Structure 1
């Protein structure tokens, strides 16, 4: 009995080893953002303002341009950094044209809106600026296009830019 108690008194807690800094675990002092749209989605990226007198305004990340001609309907999404459209959809495309009776009616505008909304969702673009020309805004075709885009999960406005102080 005495031997058991004396052994218990002599035991001590095991010492913890100190962690060693491994080369793979050190933090890199210079961080490079590999996702270029990360700041844009958090509304922290810089928006180019352009001139105040220019129309349409240049303050956007993505801009939606909808146009109708006598024969076709076209919708394009532009990025602020490129004059070339990022995404586009038109009744000139055979897959859309073969499903429509007419390529410039209200149903064609709705079909272009549905297809472009699906393409935007696949590309990860869910918010964009759309400013219709004021005298064409009330037409049934433009309203059908906007409704199709909103029905496809696209928000036709962008968040205001957040400023860090």
Structure 2
């Protein structure tokens, strides 16, 4: 609704502190993880390719495929690469995290915006999956209450108590 208090932070602080929920995307060598963090630091929802219920539905863990593959780097040294951290895994993690956020009642959040990470196809597909899942990756502006809209009533005043007594009769 936009009525809650946002942590303002300082103008020169990075990343900015003015948000209720922030979506983070972490890609390691073997796994992809996405999580939503409340402004107080608690993790509200998360999804990872490390979780078996998610991992068993990724294409790389099917019955006849190998979960990791070997390729040669520039020097000709064989390197083991995991299939749990590829672009399709990031997209699937985005869909699962979006579903979990909607079930938790979170529809708006800020994305952890590191400029050099946003150029990656993996991050872009993760973001697109979140948007396709019904999550808005920008939060609404905070609604400030105006004192002239809310008339203060003094319930201890004699006039108020007398009006209540007249209404009851």
Take 2:88 and 2:3, find their aligned partners in 1: how far apart are those partners?
38
**Which residue of the partner structure matches residue 116 of structure 1?**
97
> Following TM superposition, by how much is the alpha carbon of 1:98 offset from its aligned partner in structure 2, in angstroms?
1.6
**Which residue of the partner structure matches residue 92 of structure 1?**
50
So what's the TM-score if we normalise by structure 2?
0.69
1:59-118 superposed Cα distances (whole Å, 9 cap, x missing partner): 11111111111111111111112x221111111100111222111100000010000001
Q: Which runs of 5+ in 1 are unaligned?
A: 1-41
Rg larger for: 1
Take 1:53 and 1:73, find their aligned partners in 2: how far apart are those partners?
30
Q: Which runs of 5+ in 2 are unaligned?
A: 61-82, 147-169
Take 1:87 and 1:119, find their aligned partners in 2: how far apart are those partners?
7
Structure with higher RCO (Cα < 8 A, 6+ apart): 2
So what's the TM-score if we normalise by structure 1?
0.71
- Deviation >3 Å, runs of 4+: none
Take 2:112 and 2:36, find their aligned partners in 1: how far apart are those partners?
12
Backbone CA RMSD of aligned residues: 1.1
Decide which of 132, 141, 156 is 2:122's aligned counterpart. 141
Secondary structure of 1:108's match? Answer: helix
**Which residue of the partner structure matches residue 28 of structure 1?**
none
Aligned residues: 123
